[in-house]
Amino acid sequence: MSSLLIHSMSEFASLIVPALDAAGASRVVEIGAEHGGMSQILADYAELKNGELVSVDPAPSRAFLDWLPSAPRVTHVAKPSLEALPEIGAADAWLIDGDHNWFTVYHELGVIRELCRKEGRPLLAFLHDVGWPCGRRDSYYAPERIPEEFRHEYDYDSGVSLGTDLLLPNRGFRGRGAFAWAVHAGGPRNGVMTAGEDFLRDCHEKGEEMAFAFVPAVFGLGVLFDLDAPWRDALAGIFVPFHEHPLIAKLEENRLRNYLRIIDIQDASAVQLRRNAAGQSSGGAA
Ligand SMILES: C[S@@+](CC[C@H](N)C(=O)[O-])C[C@H]1O[C@@H](n2cnc3c(N)ncnc32)[C@H](O)[C@@H]1O
């Protein structure tokens, strides 16, 4: 993905780090490390608090693996989240940014809830990609890890764009082999926001009330926490001013439109280059 497109949870550090501090978080679990953008911020936080970061990612980048030896408070678990979480145990805060689909996120939240309840720790989770495009559309890094009954029809080559729910063949924002999109957007059990909402509904049915804030920037940050947590007012103070803020949402939409336009321009110039090359080679053969 181009650096033109900021996408790391580290962009939310100015909110997440004060929230961890306010919650007195010491043991933090991060699902999805990639290049370690957020991991480095969490490692600095752990250093400051004599805490610990457990970073779960079955396939992080070389840059993350090269950085690890210099981060003594970080443990890397090279497994998919749903395999790793039960053996990791409870933590004070969870950052969820691994495989962005309903099945994975809904079940991650379920396991996290169990772990917190078992040890009597309040739940605090930061959920990335609750906005467009993953909020209402699954994406799959490894479709084979999702049970068939929960997996939507998917496509590696097509892309998404604003203003349409249709997938665009070889156009739009796409994974280029790294991940696939669900062919259809919306509907039940589809997308990260839907997973969060379904989890909140389950908690409500169990008589557990949770707060949910949505910061509509950088693909969307959801913040979930127990309403009876001792630090709930401090957390509300941090996130309420950003919750569904229309100006932030407008800036995010503008950012996405500009990025999608760049992808269109890049695609058009790639087509032109191929045409020129084909023209030259047929000209050479004549
Ligand atoms: C969007 S990146 C994470 C970015 C990182 N959190 C940040 O803020 O800079 C997603 C990462 O999740 C990892 N991943 C995919 N499926 C996963 C799973 N089931 N469990 C844990 N990590 C997963 C991928 O290997 C990839 O490195």
pLDDT above 70 covers what percent of the chain?
98
Q: Does pLDDT of 282 surpass 90?
A: no
79 CB-contact burial (10 Å; exposed 0-12 / middle 13-18 / buried 19+): middle
Tens of pLDDT, residues 195-220: 999 999 999 999 999 999 999 999 99
When pLDDT is cut at 50, 70 and 90, the band that residue 132 belongs to is: very high
Ligand 1, atom 16, lies closest to the CA of 99
What average pLDDT does range 33-41 have in this prediction? Answer: 98
Residues with CB under 6 A from ligand 1: 8-10, 31-34, 37-38, 56-60, 80-81, 97-99, 104, 141
Cα distance between residue 87 and residue 285, in whole Å:
63
Q: Does pLDDT of 1 surpass 90?
A: no
- Closest-lying ligand 1 atom to the alpha carbon of residue 56: 21
When pLDDT is cut at 50, 70 and 90, the band that residue 283 belongs to is: low
46 CB-contact burial (10 Å; exposed 0-12 / middle 13-18 / buried 19+): buried
- Burial code (b: 16+ CB inside 10 Å, e: under 16) for 146-182 equals beeeebbebeeebbbbeeeeebbeebbbbbeeebbbb
Cα distance between residue 112 and residue 120, in whole Å:
12
**Phi/psi of residue 234, nearest 5 degrees:** -65, -40
**Cα-Cα-Cα-Cα dihedral of 11, 13, 16, 22, to 10°?**
-160
Q: Is 109 in contact with 101 (CB distance < 8 Å)?
A: no
Q: In Å, how far are 113, 158, 202, 234, 241 from 210, measured between CA atoms?
A: 11, 37, 10, 15, 18
Ligand 1, atom 5, lies closest to the CA of 33
When pLDDT is cut at 50, 70 and 90, the band that residue 286 belongs to is: very low
Instruction: For Cα atoms 36, 191, 41, give the angle at the middle one, nearest 5 degrees.
Output: 20
- Closest-lying ligand 1 atom to the alpha carbon of residue 36: 9
**Phi/psi of residue 90, nearest 5 degrees:** -75, 160
Cα distance between residue 248 and residue 242, in whole Å:
8
What average pLDDT does range 81-89 have in this prediction? Answer: 97
Tens of pLDDT, residues 165-191: 999 999 999 999 999 999 999 999 999
Q: Is 226 in contact with 122 (CB distance < 8 Å)?
A: yes
Ligand 1, atom 27, lies closest to the CA of 34
What average pLDDT does range 221-246 have in this prediction? Answer: 98
- What local confidence, expressed as pLDDT, does residue 281 receive? 81
Q: What is the mean pLDDT of the chain?
A: 96
Distance 145 CA to ligand 1 centre (A): 14
Residues in the chain: 286
What average pLDDT does range 78-96 have in this prediction? Answer: 97
Domains of the chain are 9-148+180-246 (3.40.50.150)
Residue 72's CB: how many other CB atoms inside 10 A? 11
Cα distance between residue 142 and residue 80, in whole Å:
10
Distance 98 CA to ligand 1 centre (A): 3
Distance 68 CA to ligand 1 centre (A): 16
Hey, is 223 helix, strand or coil? strand
Rg of the Cα atoms in the chain: 20
Q: Is 232 in contact with 211 (CB distance < 8 Å)?
A: yes
Distance 96 CA to ligand 1 centre (A): 8
Distance 278 CA to ligand 1 centre (A): 39
Could you give the angle at which helices 13-22 and 37-49 cross, rounded to 10 degrees?
A: 30
- Closest-lying ligand 1 atom to the alpha carbon of residue 98: 12
Q: Which mutation among 11, 100, 103, 141 tests ligand 1's pocket best, with the greatest number of atoms within 8 A of CB?
A: 141
Distance 283 CA to ligand 1 centre (A): 47
